[in-house]
Amino acid sequence: MTLANFRFETGADGVALLIWDMPGRSMNVITPEVMSELEQVVDTVVADAAIKGCVIASGKSAFSGGADLSMLQQGAAEYAKARKEQGEEAANKLFFETSRKLSKLYRKLETCGKPFAVAIQGVCLGGAFELALACHYRVMADDEKTKVGLPEIKVGLFPGAGGTQRVSRIMQTGDALQFLFRGDQLKPKAALGAKLVHEIAPREEIVARARAWIANGGKAQAPWDAKDFKNPSGKVFSPTGMMIWPAANAIYRRETYDNYPAAKAILHAAYEGLQLPMDQALDVESRWFAHILRSKEAAAMIRSLFLSKNELEKGAHRPAEIPPTTLKKIGVLGAGFMGAGVAYVSALNGIEVVLIDRDQESADKGKATIDKLISGSVAKGRATQADKDALMARVTATADYAALAGSDLILEAVFEDRAVKAEATARAQAVVGGDVVFASNTSTLPISSLAETSMSPENFVGIHFFSPVEKMLLVEVIMGKETGDRALAAALDFIRVIKKTPIVVNDSRGFYANRCVLNYVREGQIMLIEGVPPAMIENVARMAGMPVGPLSLNDEVALDLGWKILNATKKDLGDKAVDPRQERVLRFMVEENGRYGRKNGKGFYDYQPDGKKSLWPGLSALAQTHLDPDTIDVTELKQRFLVTQAVEAARTLAEGVVTDPREADVGSILGFGFAPFTGGTLSYIDGMGAKAFVALCDALAARHGPRFEPPQLLRDMAAKGETFYGRFLPQKKAA
């Protein structure tokens, strides 16, 4: 037996210990090599009469994050090659057999006749948790860092190595479906309560507990392989079953609008599998898994939400020649909601923060916001009181700019006013000088113009956070005309420390994310003028794949802010730069009716003290005509919502604001929730094909105006049959 990714040893008690510890990796992942070695181990354990059973544990701080999803892309490439060389039938058979190898390996372990136990520490997710589920006994470390889950749904997949079948035979059907649909990660007590693990114990005891279970005669049989096994919720075709499955189907449709094939596959696999013996049930799951693997949704989501996201987080656009940035202490100027959020995530990740505002009272309010955020984590069991005390000790709230001395980075998050920002910049740089990288969190003002007030424009960069900072994953790094590589590297290093995902964009009004999402908001406003019922606007937007409707989103952002941006745009660029219909809506809401959004309880919605909201009846006054909902083309409405954002994304690439399609796609999903099943704004176009997309844009432009007209770049790509990923994706350097 030759092992490179595991260590195997047998103790005096006859129990083998398999330590999974992949060299050169911080995290264990499932690869073809790991699968091959694990099969060797199973064969060895079975063949050696002196071995009673085997405990699987990790040699790293975490058990495993699951499969290396890049091998799924390799599988797709192999399928395409086989289809070309051997024909579709042979290629389909090869693809199916390849896609079910992990499932068959786990079933081999489960039915090998020797007991296997697993000791889980740290995260154990996806295919790694499916391995744990195939083991006969599961011991989980009882600490905050240990979690189990099947999050495949979040990248357009579903658990295809037995997860749907084992989970639905352990948990009540309704709970199992919720667990699979949500992709949640469960902490030890929750996992024990759900019967997904057999025992929880202190981390230092988990291997001994697992070993003791085998030594004391643990059975090598899964519950579902026993003759008297009954499903937790009984038979599918039973009074109980008929209360579960119709409701589950309705919930699936309500939550996904049929946009996510993987969610539908979970429903099918569980429903069909629970009516069959385990081996046949696994065959059913494998067929659905192979089907989903070949879906365009899975391919797009894996690329954007796993591969591209990881590449960006690892510094795909960080200047390689710049040494790592020291980030022990930073200064945050402005202790408002955004500044406090930046200070919080920085302190949370071990950075000392000086939080500055115009007076001590304002600075203290910012620190109180931080206290509230960390206290919420303590109350939910996500942090301890000691964690809170340590975090709060890292935050100094003051009005004294002298406290910034020794800072490694300054981040300005003051009011969105040039004069206020210029004053804050000057006061901070009077203390730290021009060599310290200075970042602005502006969401609207061009970075190049703000840098003019800086001592060193080459050290001035934009770092645009999204609200709320503690929840939103995306950060836009904006390059001004004079921003240098050192400032870019520092910005990316900072974002990596605070565990966010960066995209790098060049300076322009609205940068990238705001340009796209404001088009989405505007489309909803225009539909109001056209007479589309407000409820229909909101619901169809969600049907298209957006997380919230444009009216709800506008309320959250604040209508008065939108009104200010519109007027500033009009002042800078002239009347033609704004849509008169949008101007009418915002004037009606803000100027005529004092409706600013959620912040004053009155926007497109009326907000009640108990948190409930309802559409404001007064919106009907905006409609130029009242359309019959039955006569409105829902498909076209959905297209308008997505196309208006995607065509703007294409414009940003044509203008050089965005230079990498990965950043456009990842930024669109993480920044403003663009229909994740498409893979992002540019993947949406690539998936449709440039020629078809241009034709759709032209049709929408003919009906609704020039805002849908595609840039010349798209017309050129359509003529040549090009894709964004084929034309613009940076080529990887040969090793």
Mean pLDDT of the 238-244 span: 89
pLDDT, residue 572, reads 81
| Position 299 in a domain | no
CATH of the domain at 135: 3.90.226.10
Please indicate, yes or no, whether residues 287 and 353 belong to a single structural domain of this protein.
Answer: no
- Which long-range contacts does 386-394 make (Cβ < 8 Å, 24+ apart)? 391/344, 391/347, 391/348, 392/347, 392/367, 394/347, 394/350, 394/351, 394/352, 394/353
Largest CA distance in the chain: 85
pLDDT in tens, 199-232: 999 999 999 999 999 999 999 999 999 999 999 9
Mean pLDDT of the 619-632 span: 93
Q: What are phi and psi of 64, to 5 degrees?
A: -175, 145
| Separation between Cα atoms, residue 392 and residue 407, nearest integer Å | 18
pLDDT in tens, 88-134: 888 888 888 888 999 999 999 999 999 999 999 999 999 999 999 99
pLDDT, residue 732, reads 58
- pLDDT of 284 above 90: yes
Q: Are 660 and 308 in contact (CB under 8 A)?
A: no
Mean pLDDT of the 432-452 span: 91
| Position 631 in a domain | yes
pLDDT, residue 352, reads 98
pLDDT, residue 530, reads 96
| Position 410 in a domain | yes
CA distances from 350 to 384, 492, 497 (A): 15, 17, 9
pLDDT confidence bin for 83, thresholds 50/70/90:
confident
Residue 262 half-sphere exposure, CB side, CA atoms within 13 Å? Answer: 28
The residue behind tokens 């069991």 is: 381
What residues pair up with 264 in beta bridges, in sequence order? none
- pLDDT of 735 above 50: no
Please indicate, yes or no, whether residues 100 and 242 belong to a single structural domain of this protein.
Answer: yes
| Separation between Cα atoms, residue 545 and residue 263, nearest integer Å | 14
pLDDT confidence bin for 734, thresholds 50/70/90:
very low
Q: What does the angle CA 657 – CA 663 – CA 667 come to, to the nearest 5 degrees?
A: 100
Q: Which of 484, 506, 528 is the last residue of a domain?
A: 506
pTM passes above 0.85? yes
| Token pair in block for residue 248 | 């589950």
Mean pLDDT of the 292-318 span: 92
| Position 302 in a domain | no
| Position 285 in a domain | yes
Please indicate, yes or no, whether residues 53 and 105 belong to a single structural domain of this protein.
Answer: yes
Specify the higher pLDDT residue, 510 or 404. Answer: 404
Please indicate, yes or no, whether residues 527 and 644 belong to a single structural domain of this protein.
Answer: yes
Task: Among 22-26, 440-444, 630-634, 690-694, name the one with the lowest average pLDDT.
Answer: 440-444
Q: What percentage of residues in the chain have a pLDDT greater than 90?
A: 86
CATH of the domain at 557: 1.10.1040.50
pLDDT, residue 418, reads 86
Q: What are phi and psi of 116, to 5 degrees?
A: -120, 135
| Position 306 in a domain | no
CATH of the domain at 450: 3.40.50.720
pLDDT, residue 69, reads 81
Instruction: Round the average pLDDT of the chain to a whole number and report it.
Output: 94
Q: Are 548 and 542 in contact (CB under 8 A)?
A: yes
Mean pLDDT of the 648-675 span: 96
Query: Of 451, 462, 428, nearest to 330 (Cα)?
Result: 428
Mean pLDDT of the 438-456 span: 90
- Which long-range contacts does 458-463 make (Cβ < 8 Å, 24+ apart)? 458/482, 458/483, 458/484, 458/486, 458/487, 459/434, 459/435, 459/484, 459/486, 459/487, 460/487, 461/437, 461/487, 461/488, 461/490, 461/491, 462/507, 462/511, 463/411, 463/439, 463/491, 463/494, 463/495
| Token pair in block for residue 712 | 């010349």
Q: How many domains does the chain have?
A: 3
Please indicate, yes or no, whether residues 476 and 542 belong to a single structural domain of this protein.
Answer: no
pLDDT, residue 144, reads 87
| 3-state class percentages of the chain: helix first, strand second, coil last, to nearest 5 | 55, 10, 30
Q: Which of 476, 506, 536 is the last residue of a domain?
A: 506
| Token pair in block for residue 256 | 């996904």
- pLDDT of 64 above 70: yes
> Which domain, by its residues, includes 407?
329-506
| Token pair in block for residue 674 | 């663009």
- pLDDT of 73 above 80: no
Please indicate, yes or no, whether residues 601 and 702 belong to a single structural domain of this protein.
Answer: yes
Please indicate, yes or no, whether residues 591 and 669 belong to a single structural domain of this protein.
Answer: yes
Please indicate, yes or no, whether residues 518 and 448 belong to a single structural domain of this protein.
Answer: no
pLDDT, residue 415, reads 86
| Position 354 in a domain | yes
Please indicate, yes or no, whether residues 126 and 260 belong to a single structural domain of this protein.
Answer: yes
Buried b / exposed e over 508-541, threshold 16 CB at 10 Å, is: bbbbbbbbbbbbbbbbbbbbbbbebbbebbbebb
Mean pLDDT of the 331-352 span: 96
| Position 733 in a domain | no
pLDDT, residue 74, reads 73
Please indicate, yes or no, whether residues 349 and 424 belong to a single structural domain of this protein.
Answer: yes
Please indicate, yes or no, whether residues 656 and 574 belong to a single structural domain of this protein.
Answer: yes
Query: Of 488, 103, 166, 98, nearest to 317 (Cα)?
Result: 488
pLDDT in tens, 359-377: 999 999 999 999 999 999 9
Q: Which of 446, 473, 506 is the last residue of a domain?
A: 506
Please indicate, yes or no, whether residues 59 and 108 belong to a single structural domain of this protein.
Answer: yes
